[in-house]
Amino acid sequence: MVRIGHLEANVNGFGNIPINVEKQLLIALWILGTPDSYRSITSKFGVVNATAWSCTYKVVRALCNYRNYFIRWPSHAEAQEIFARIEQRFGFPGVIDALDGNAYINRKGKHSIQLQVICNDRLEFIHCYAAWSCTYKVVRALCNYRYYFIRWPSHAEAQEISARIEQRFGFPGIIGALDGTQINIAAPKRDSNAYINRKGKHSIQLQVICNDRLEFIHCYTDTLGYRTNATIIFFPNDSHLLADAAYTLQNNIMVPYRDDGLFNTVLSRSRMMIERAIGLLKNRWRYFLKKIPMPRTDLIPFYILAICILHNICLKRDDAFEYPVIIPDANDFPDPEEVDDQSRRNGIIKRKHINIANQDRVNN
C-alpha cells in the first residue's frame, strides 16, 4: 500500500485532538463510495461537516499525487501483452484499450462534468481526462490569437467597408455597427447581485462592433474587456459607427432621431448588420442560448471571446449558416451615458448633414 503522507497529523500542536490517518481515509472512502451526505457522516464518524470535508479533500489530494502511479499508459511490453489477451478473447487484433466518455449533456436536466477514460482488458483505467480541461485549453489557445481574428480595420479596409455599405444602403461614412447583448450566466459565488440584469437574471454584457460582413472588429465584456488597443482605434475620413437609441450621439457614433422617419429608416436598415451578427453568434454557438453553467466570472469572458473568435473564423471560411434574425429587446441595454459635450455637438452637426444628404438623394 502506498503511504499517504499528506494525511499525517501534527500531534504536537495545539487545538483539537487530531484525527488519525486511518479515520481520515475511512471518512473519505465512505463519502466517495456512498450517496450519503456530509450530515450523515457526522453521526457515523463523530465529526462535524467541516472536518469531514477537510478529511475528504486531504485524501483526494494525496491520491492525486500518485495518479501517474495508479493510472498510466502501458509500456511497449505491457501493450504487447494486452494485444495478445484481447485478440485471444475477442478476435480483434491490435487493441490496447477502449475509449468512452460519460455524457455530460443535461438530458435529465442535471448538471454534470464530462469524464473521458481509457481502459485496458482488465478494466483498469490507463488514461483519464476531463472535458472541462480540454475545453479550457482550447479556449485559452484561441484567446492568444484574439488580435489576429478580431481586429480594428486598417485605413484601406475602413474605406472599403464604408464604400460597400454606402453603395448598399445609401448611408455614407460607416465602418461598422455597435450593439450589446446579455449573456446569461449561473449565479456567481461572489457579488451575485451585481450581475442581475433588468429582467432579474444573472448575466454579463457583451458589446460588439461588426462590419458589413458580420465579422466582429471589436469585443468587450463587463468583467474583462478584450478591446483593441486604443492607439489603433481610429475613424479615417471622419467615419462613424451606427448604434441604436441606447447609445448617446457622438461625433463617431450615429444614433436615430426621436421623430425623423427617413433618417431613422436608413439608419435602421444599415444597422441591421449588427442584429444579424449577434443573431448568427447565438444561433450557431448555442452555448449562449441558455445560461453559461460556470460560477467563476473571471473565466467566463475567455469563453465568450473564444466563441466570438470562432464566429469570425467561420465567416472567413465561408461557412454558411441559416438562422432567424433575433431582434434584441431594448430593455436589455443600459440608458445612454453622458459623453463629452463637444463630441455630442459634433455628432448633431454630422447627423444633420447626413440627413439632408439622404433627403436630397430621395428627392432627386
Residue 66: per-residue pLDDT: 80
Nearest residue to 308 via CA among 271, 280, 272: 280
Residue 364: per-residue pLDDT: 61
Per-residue tens of pLDDT for the chain, all 364 residues: 345 555 555 444 444 667 788 888 888 888 777 777 767 777 788 887 778 878 888 888 888 788 777 777 778 787 778 777 877 777 666 655 555 544 434 455 565 655 666 666 566 555 555 556 677 888 889 999 888 999 999 899 999 999 999 899 888 889 999 998 989 888 887 788 888 888 888 888 899 999 999 999 999 886 533 443 333 467 777 788 999 888 888 888 888 877 667 778 888 888 899 999 999 998 888 878 778 877 778 888 998 999 999 999 999 998 877 766 555 443 344 444 445 566 666 666 666 666 666 665 656 6
Look up residue 205 and give its DSSP letter: E
Q: How far apart are CA 314 and CA 317, in angstroms?
A: 5
Residue 41: per-residue pLDDT: 73
In the block, residue with C-alpha cell 501534527: 10
Look up residue 202 and give its DSSP letter: B
Grid cell in block for residue 41: 457522516
Grid cell in block for residue 18: 487530531
Annotate 278-314 with DSSP letters as a single string.
HHHHHHHSGGGTS-B----TTTHHHHHHHHHHHHHHH
Q: How far apart are CA 158 and CA 212, in angstroms?
A: 11
Residue 310: per-residue pLDDT: 93
Q: How far apart are CA 304 and CA 37, in angstroms?
A: 35
Grid cell in block for residue 255: 444614433
Per DSSP, the chain holds a count of helices (H) and strands (E) of 11, 8
User: Does residue 184 contact residue 148 with C-beta atoms inside 8 Å?
Assistant: no
Residue 1: per-residue pLDDT: 39
Nearest residue to 241 via CA among 180, 301, 331, 323: 180
Buried/exposed 90-129: b ≥16 CB within 10 Å, e otherwise: eeeeeebbeeeeeeeeeeeeeeeebbebbbbbeeeebeee
Query: What predicted TM-score, i.e. pTM, was given to this entire model?
Result: 0.60
User: Does residue 224 contact residue 358 with C-beta atoms inside 8 Å?
Assistant: no
Residue 336: per-residue pLDDT: 47
- Report the side by side order of strands in the sheet with 253-254: 216-221, 203-210, 174-184, 240-242, 253-254
Residue 156: per-residue pLDDT: 92
